[in-house]
Chain A
Amino acid sequence: MKVFCNGEAQEIAPGTRVAEYLSQLGLDASSVVVECDGKILTREEYGSHALQDGSVLELIRFVGGG
């Protein structure tokens, strides 16, 4: 199935949960905030929240700024 992550279409296995997806991308879950279909997920939800076909994900983190 397909999800849209940070504006890019990505093919992932059905039933993939957010925590697994972050790990596949090589991301440390504690450093990323996830917005899925417009809703901000809590870190506790990463392990249980299964991505749906067509889900729109925004993965956001802190960067340098003034």
Chain B
Amino acid sequence: MLTIAGRKFRSRLFGGTGKFSSPEVMKEALAASGCEMVTVALRRVDLDNPDDDIMRVLDRDRYLFLPNTSGARDAGEAIRLAKLARASGGGEWLKLEVTPDPRTLLPDPIETLKATEELVKEGFKVLPYINADPILALRLQDVGAVAVMPLGSPIGTNQGVLTRFQIEIIIAQAQVPVIVDAGLGAPSHVAEAMEMGADAVLVNTAIAVAGDPVRMARAFAMAVEAGRIAYEAGLGAVSKDAAPSSPDDGLGFLR
């Protein structure tokens, strides 16, 4: 079973709560995904819609909240968002995102490391969203990150695991859980990440924007499980040369 910072998770699929067409669809899709941890963001209250409150539909007993610091462009903004999340009753868990470039939404490694150090001292359980950089993953682990969240491809792009080579190294080296996050656009993508030995994956866009988000959530859950079982079962070695699956012997009658 997956354990992060002493907490056990039966499901290795974590869900996002953005981009759904309605709160009801989100609720049903999250239920179908079987996930136990969901990300949420922090934004200004829309004073014209005081009742527009996601907390009305999300069951806190069912889901562990993982507030993110999306929108932060540097460590200072991320720390401010983290403190607001904690004051909002978000708990100590935090997906740290520092993305200064709105075009790529790629994370700033230096600000992410600075913010992680500070937030760990403040008592947060920090899960930093990072580019798939094995050295950075180790540095974050050293300063107390409880997991690392390397990206498969940029946020919201559905391009899958473009960072395979680096993620393999991160998985081989990290002592903390590795959660592949961002860009996982199809069940086959999460199966690939799980077959590689990722401890978990986080999916938001691909489920939220699907034609049928509830069925897609189910498909992702199945793919995560299949990929994990395949990893534990041990995949066969990859080879350039063909090797017959049927016996070479016993063909004398043909010639």
Contact = CB atoms under 8 A, between A and B. Distances in A.
Interface residues of A, number: 25
B87 A42 contact: yes
Contacts of A6: 44-45, 47
Contacts of B205: 66
B68 interface: yes
Contacts of A32: 45, 88
B54 A64 contact: yes
Q: How big is chain B's contact interface, by range? A: 35 or more
Contacts of A41: 87
Contacts of A31: 53, 55
Given A28-B53, A33-B87, A40-B87, A63 B43 contact: yes
Interface in A1-58: 5-8, 25-28, 30-33, 35, 40-42, 58
B109 interface: no
B106 to A, nearest CB: 15
Contacts of A28: 50, 53
Interface in B34-63: 39-45, 47, 50-51, 53-55
B88 A61 contact: yes
B17 interface: yes
Contact of A62 (B55, B156, B202): B55
Interface string B76-87: 000000011101
24 contacts: A6-B44, A26-B50, A28-B53, A32-B88, A40-B84, A42-B87, A60-B43, A61-B53, A61-B88, A62-B85, A63-B41, A63-B42, A63-B43, A64-B17, A64-B19, A65-B18, A65-B39, A65-B41, A65-B204, A66-B16, A66-B17, A66-B39, A66-B182, A66-B202
